[in-house]
Chains A and B, each alone.
Chain A
Amino acid sequence: GNSVTQMEGPVTLSEEAFLTINCTYTATGYPSLFWYVQYPGEGLQLLLKATKADDKGSNKGFEATYRKETTSFHLEKGSVQVSDSAVYFCALSDRAGGTSYGKLTFGQGTILTVHP
């Protein structure tokens, strides 16, 4: 079945540091890939997505590129802020019948803490 593996956490950085959170996946077919972010006490918010190989998703300074050859979708940000402190989830979705997003399969989540 499908699976997503995220780098071991938590990650602690100083403000303005460079961020990388690794994500690799196992899936049949051609899944879509996502990064979701969860702030304390809130639900998951879609951060960015990519639907095919070599697509780059980007939002709020975060980027991730769909690498089919390495089955990876690493999240990066050039300069993190204290407000980026949250839990980050990598996820993939089935494309049942090629026409719909099915269930999301999530990684275990990475806790990011950014200090001033």
Chain B
Amino acid sequence: DSGVTQTPKHLITATGQRVTLRCSPRSGDLSVYWYQQSLDQGLQFLIQYYNGEERAKGNILERFSAQQFPDLHSELNLSSLELGDSALYFCASSVDGVQPQHFGDGTRLSIL
């Protein structure tokens, strides 16, 4: 158990819809990262937050947004969903953005 909690584990929705994925980092970790894992693109970094502030941005679509709240949990919002957004979305956390990242079990998003 990595200590990183992601909910829900599975999400099935339709094109055009909006979903929110939630991540609770390990106790004491200030930094949260989001990654997308798909068959064609592999594992790709989306965005990083540190203590509530956005720190780094990767290949994140404009339809996607994220935030980190004062209690350090993070949410990834995906809107106007397309079939190609079907993927596993991982959250990872680290204590200070320096130590290695620990991953949650992911949220599997299926777009029908």
**Which secondary structure dominates where chain A touches chain B?**
strand
Determine, out of A10-18, A70-78, A98-106, the stretch whose residues face the partner at the interface.
A98-106
Judge whether B100 and A43 touch: CB under 8 Å. no
Indicate if the CB atoms of A108 and B42 lie closer than 8 Å. Answer: yes
State how many angstroms separate the Cβ of A105 from the closest Cβ of chain B: 7
Interface check A46, CB cutoff 8 A: yes
When A101-B98, A101-B101 are in contact, do A43 and B58 touch as well, CB less than 8 Å?
Answer: no
Instruction: Please give, as numbers and ranges, the residues of chain A lying within 8 Å of B94 by CB-CB distance.
Output: 101
Instruction: Give the interface segment out of B65-73, B74-82, B102-110.
Output: B102-110
Distance in angstroms between the alpha carbons of A59 and B102 in the assembled complex: 16
| 25 contacts across the A-B interface (CB closer than 8 A) | A34-B100, A43-B2, A43-B4, A43-B103, A43-B104, A43-B105, A43-B106, A44-B103, A45-B103, A46-B102, A89-B43, A96-B56, A100-B97, A100-B98, A101-B98, A101-B99, A101-B100, A102-B97, A103-B33, A103-B45, A103-B56, A104-B45, A104-B92, A104-B101, A106-B44
B interface residue numbers (CB < 8 A to A):
2, 4, 33, 35, 42-45, 48, 55-56, 58, 90, 92, 94, 96-106
